[in-house]
Amino acid sequence: MSFCGTIELERRWKMFNFAMHCDGLAFRLFHLKHDRTKLDENGQAQLFQTALKDREDFAKFAANLRFFSEVWTNERSEEYWKEYGKHEYTDYEFHELFNDVLREKTGFIIPILEKVGNGEQLTDEETKSAMDFLHGLSARAHAKIDRGGCF
């Protein structure tokens, strides 16, 4: 028996984690759209519609998407490796998710996710676009989870 299966299982779990992260972000966007008046435990309205942790998550995910959508001409540069180390999803399999059409959509969605990361409210159209993109990206990741393996 080879150890190839262990590597394949790790790759599958990373891709599954990415897909579930996309779905989780889409759910939070849906929740923001329909629950604009959040109250804290004392019954007072919150200043920002998202918690700091959620805002940070959206900002980090947007930065990770920017890393994917950016075309790196010299992957051996020090700048590339510094940027590579900042992100959670950096493996080659994640880069494979983005074809040319999806890269164009990503350029449109990144500012929307950054707006959420900055605590700004989205319009209904922006929310729908971001949710559709995240669900589509999740579906692509789910499709890439099982590629036959090596068992």
Whether residue 73 contacts residue 128, with contact meaning beta carbons closer than 8 Å, is answered with no
Q: Quick one: average pLDDT of 77-83?
A: 82
The helix-helix angle for 100-117 and 4-34 (nearest 10°) equals: 50
25-51 tens-digit pLDDT: 999 999 888 775 565 666 665 555 667
Looking at residue 47, the DSSP 8-state letter turns out to be S
Asked whether residue 1 carries a pLDDT value surpassing 50, the answer given is no
- Domain-by-domain residue ranges, the chain? 4-145
Whether residue 129 contacts residue 44, with contact meaning beta carbons closer than 8 Å, is answered with no
Global pTM reads 0.79
Closest-CA residue to 65 (of 101, 122, 29, 111): 111
- Higher confidence at residue 121 or residue 125? 125
What backbone phi and psi angles, to 5 degrees, belong to 4?
-60, -35
Q: Among the ranges 60-69, 98-107, 122-131, which has the highest mean pLDDT value?
A: 122-131
Whether residue 17 contacts residue 10, with contact meaning beta carbons closer than 8 Å, is answered with no
- Higher confidence at residue 112 or residue 76? 112
With bands split at pLDDT 50, 70 and 90, how would you rate the model's confidence at 138?
very high
Task: Collapse the DSSP code of 76 into the 3-class scheme (helix H, G, I; strand E, B; otherwise coil) and give the result.
Answer: coil
Whether residue 103 contacts residue 147, with contact meaning beta carbons closer than 8 Å, is answered with no
Whether residue 117 contacts residue 56, with contact meaning beta carbons closer than 8 Å, is answered with yes
Exposure string for 90-118, b = 16+ CB within 10 A, e = fewer:
beebbeebbeeebeebbeebbebbbbbbe
β-pair partners for 45: 39
- Looking up tokens 């959670």 gives 88
**Which pair of structure tokens corresponds to residue 120?**
């700004």
